Each structure stands twice: as C-alpha cells, then as structure tokens.
Chains A and B, each alone.
Chain A
Amino acid sequence: MLSPQIIDLLIKGLIDTLHMVAVSGAIGTLIGLPLGVLLAVTGRGELLQNLVFNRIIGAVVNMTRSTPFIILVVAIIPFTRLVAGTSIGTSAAIVPLTVAAAPFIARVVENAIREVDRGLIEAAQAMGATPFQIVRKVLLPEALPAIAMGLTLSAVSLIGYSAMVGAVGGGGLGDLGIRYGYQRFLPEVMLAVVVVLIVLVQVVQSTGDWIARRVNKRNLKV
C-alpha cells in the first residue's frame, strides 16, 4: 500500500519529530522546572515571598503562553536565526518549541508544587530546614507524581506543536503530512502520518502515566 520511499519518509519524519520533542522538552524542562519552583515559592505567603519577582516572571510566562503557537513561531524568527543559524528545518524548529515549552512546564511545575501540603513545609521548618533544603527534600519529591503527569502533558502538547511547525518548514511528521498528504494529495500518506502521531501520543501518555504511578506513594494499597 505504502511505497518503500514513503515508509522511509515516515521513519525519518518520526525520528525528526522525536528529536524535536525530546530536545525542546529537555531544554524546556531545564528552564521551566527552576522557573516553576521560583514561581511557586515566591508567591504570596510562600516560603520566599517576593511579589515583584513573582509578578515579573509570571507576566513573561503568561505572555508566551497567551501567544498562539503559530504566531510565536513567526514572531521569533529573528531570534531563531540568531540561535540556530537558520529559520527552517528541524534544528530551527526546536527554538520556538522550546520557547513554548519552558513557560508551559514552569506553570505545570508551579501548580504541582503549590499542591504540596503546607503542613509538610511547616514540619520541615520546625526541623530547621533551609528554604533550599525544603525545595529539594520536601517540595520536589512530594510534587514528583504531579510533575511527572505535567511533563507528560507537556510532551503530548509538544508533539502537536511539532506537527504544526511542519507547516512552516520545520521537518518531522507534520511536514511530511503537509507536503505529501496535502500538497501532493496522497491521502494514504496523510492517514499514515495521523496514525503514527496517534500511536506516538498514546505511547507517551501511557509511559507518563506509568511513571507517575510508580513515583506516587500516596495511594498504596494497605
């Protein structure tokens, strides 16, 4: 049904997509995780309350998050060129994907940390823990199941976004679908792309759920 060339293209598209999602997800986490922690602990009545800092970071995060992704891709082309040296192709696509992922992950992490029972923070303070120790030994481990779920959600969103950057020459499965499925009108390629994306999202979601369950010690059967 699908020619070997098409299958090769599918495999290459999948690898490109995985590459984009993995790299932007990793860098996004590297930036988003500390940002999320800072957002959570500098809020009103929190461990290291600093409302000015909190509002500034919050505003930057919101700005990026409220810009539709496709607009963001185009709007930051100069920045993308500066970082990646080009504005087309897989490496270039990683730049807007990361810019979208980092604030998303920051909010996810912030919410996960805010969900941690305040009593635990109080107990740690009563033990003489420093704020840094509280973050490392209490907040992050306790928020881990929620963070794992949030990162899974981020990865799934990134798969969707990575297909979108295909529309502006980003490579990957989305690019394949647009160029072959839509422009050359090969419906079977379009179908194959959609199926691969669905399977990919399923695999990512199930893996994420599994990890979140593994790290969650809160609902163990007695």
Chain B
Amino acid sequence: MITLTNLQKTFPARGSGVPVQALADIDLTIGRGEIFGIIGRSGAGKSTLLRTINLLEKPTTGSVRVDDVEMTALSAAELRQARHSIGMIFQHFNLLSSRTVFDNVALPLELAGMPKAEIKTAVEPLLDLVGLAEKRDRYPAELSGGQKQRVGIARALASKPKVLLSDEATSALDPETTTQILHLLADINRRLGLTIVLITHEIAVIKEICHKVAVMEGGRIIEQGPVFDIFAHPSHPTTRSFVDPVINRGIPDSLKDRLSPTPQPGANPVLRITFTGEKATSPVISAISRKLNLDLNIWHGQIDEIQGAPFGTLVVEALGDSTSVEAAVSLLKVNHLGVEVLGHAVPANH
C-alpha cells in the first residue's frame, strides 16, 4: 500500500546553524490493511517521515508510493486529489474552533465540493461510528480531549480514505482515553480494512494495536518487523530500552549484581528462555532437567501478552557442568524456545 524507497530529507540550515538531516536511507513497505507503528524518541524524525507520506514534507530524494501512485511526481492539483484518500489525525486534534462537530467532520467534503445534502448523509454515520451523534452541534471547546480526537478521526474518515496517518494521536490523552481511542482505531482498521500508519513515542501504543513496527533513531530506521518478533527479540539497544519497561525481559536488580559477563570458577550460567503461547514449556524444561541431570534454579518468570498472544520469559540459573549446559541450550533451541546466556552467577556468599 505504501512504499518508501531510499528516502532522504534534509532541512536547510536555519540562520547560522547547520542543515538537519531529518531522514536518512528510509526503506519501508507497509501492507494493505496493516496497522504499522513507528516509534522513536522526540526528534528521531517520526513526524517528518509520516508527513512525507502525504507529501506535507517533500523528501529531498527518494520515492513515496501510495496505492501505486508515485506521490513525488504529482502536480499540485493531482497531489490535492491524492490527499483525499489519505486521512490524517494529530496530537493536538487541529479542529476548527469556529465550527461545530458536524461542520468539522463535513470540512473535507466541503473542500471536495460535495453538495450539502450528500454531506449530511455522509457525516451522520461517521458521527455514529465515533459515538458523537449527540454532540453534533457542539463546538470543540465544549468537548473533552478524547471526544476531540474522535471528531478528528471522523473528519479523517470523511473522504473515505484508504490510508490513515496518525501523528501522536493519543499523546495528549490520559491513559484510559488513550486505550479507548486505540480500540476505536483498531476497530476501524478491522471494519473498513483501512491501512493505518501511526507514530508514537509510547511503546504501549505499539503493543496495544500495531501489527508491525519500525524503530527510528537519528532519522534512520534501526529495526523493523512484526510487533511480536521485535518485542520478543529486540536486537538494537534502543529497541530494548523501549521494550524492556513493558515486557519484563530483565532480571531483578538484586540478582543482576551477582551476574558476571565472563565464566568464573564456581559461577553457573544464567539463561533467559523465551517462549510464545503455543509452546508448552514446563514439560520441555523438566524433561531437559531430567535427561541431562541438570538442576534449573528459577530466578524470574513472567508472562506478557503481545498482540493477544502470550509471551513468556524465564530466567534460570543452570546448576551443572558446561557440557550439560550446552546440551540444554541446544535442546531448548531444538524445541523452538528462545535461549540467551545472560551471564554467570557468582555464588551469593562471595
């Protein structure tokens, strides 16, 4: 649905400053009907990337294809036409304070020159969809943040877009309202088959509704893939720093102090075993334990849910010689469990 190829964006220097390279070597493919999340810290280039999709930001070089149309090649009039099929919602809602809820949702249709009567029949179902039918004659100033974002969503859907771009749409909302808005977006995605690209600095948003995720840093995509895979096996340190607080892959601090990165006399290896829903672990682990005569001392265990699928982490200290530990690792791998040696546990009385 959306393909960004070798995208670069450099902002010219302001005053005596240096030019800012906001996007570098961006390659991204977003499938039809996907909810694609882009996460990164402030200044990573997320907004710039999102805005190149509807060409609010013109890339310095590279290609932006949306629904098989090369956006960078369009004339101004063609671009305006193309933008009718790309909705956008914003962190601060960007509603017109001078217009009622109904008239805000009607705006994109007015701009497209739709007759008044048709606008009415188009807007009313949208207000129902976002649950704001009874607020139709209210002004934005009379609405809560969550209600304002619902108006924003209805407005973005008015021209029946194929793609919805969301720039930190929940970042100004409280956690409860955030969840409601995210569920509304997921619902719209399912019901209308809408492709959603959302950017956020909150990993919880990614965890809640995204199918795929790309992690950005310094204008680059440092890691991307299905949300489950990225959460289960984050490879870049930045990704890990995002994922760790929500997926407790870590180990308690008291135990961390006992870990040495290198083997030591009398220190047992500490393994992190990760498993996903379908794979029953305890039989495997107890079988390995029995077969190899290896005692596994459980340090820490946790089960999370990512995208509705359970995801478990087990941190164990393997009390046995190095050959049986190696055998255990390969057996776990054969059983499709994730295994990682975290370090070597120095005995507590040291």
B92 contacts partner chain A, Cβ-Cβ < 8 Å: yes
A133:B86 contact, CB within 8 angstroms: no
Q: Which residues of A contact B143 (CB under 8 A)?
A: 222
Q: Which residues of A contact B90 (CB under 8 A)?
A: 119, 122-123
A217:B139 contact, CB within 8 angstroms: yes
Main SS of the interface on chain A? helix
A130:B97 contact, CB within 8 angstroms: no
> In the complex where A119-B90, A222-B141 touch, is A128 in contact with B81 (Cβ < 8 A)?
yes
A217:B83 contact, CB within 8 angstroms: no
Which bracket fits the contact residues of B? 20 to 34
Bound together, the chains give a CA A137 to CA B97 distance in angstroms of 12
Main SS of the interface on chain B? mixed
- For A, the interface residue count at a CB cutoff of 8 angstroms equals 25
Interface string of A141-160 (1 = CB under 8 A from B): 11010000000000000000
Q: Which residues of B contact A126 (CB under 8 A)?
A: 54, 56, 83, 86-88, 165
Q: Which residues of A contact B110 (CB under 8 A)?
A: 137
Bound together, the chains give a CA A129 to CA B83 distance in angstroms of 9
B84:A141 contact, CB within 8 angstroms: no
B81:A219 contact, CB within 8 angstroms: no
Name the distance in Å between B111's Cβ and chain A's nearest Cβ. 5
Name the distance in Å between B135's Cβ and chain A's nearest Cβ. 12
Complex: chain A residue closest to B141, CB-CB: A220
Contact for A120 among B84, B94, B139, CB less than 8 A: B94
Bound together, the chains give a CA A221 to CA B108 distance in angstroms of 27
Contact for A128 among B83, B140, B142, CB less than 8 A: B83
Interface residues of B in 151-207 (CB under 8 A from A): 159, 165
A196 contacts partner chain B, Cβ-Cβ < 8 Å: no
Complex: chain B residue closest to A126, CB-CB: B88
B111:A217 contact, CB within 8 angstroms: no
B92:A119 contact, CB within 8 angstroms: yes
Contact for B80 among A117, A128, A138, A217, CB less than 8 A: A128
Contact for B88 among A123, A133, A138, A221, CB less than 8 A: A123
Q: Which residues of B contact A120 (CB under 8 A)?
A: 94, 96
Contact for B98 among A124, A144, A221, A222, CB less than 8 A: A144
Bound together, the chains give a CA A125 to CA B90 distance in angstroms of 13
B interface with A by C-beta (< 8 Å): 54, 56, 79-84, 86-88, 90, 92, 94, 96-99, 107-108, 110-112, 139-143, 159, 165
Can you list 11 A-B pairs with a CB-CB distance of less than 8 A? A117-B94, A126-B86, A127-B88, A127-B107, A127-B111, A128-B111, A141-B96, A142-B98, A217-B99, A217-B141, A220-B141
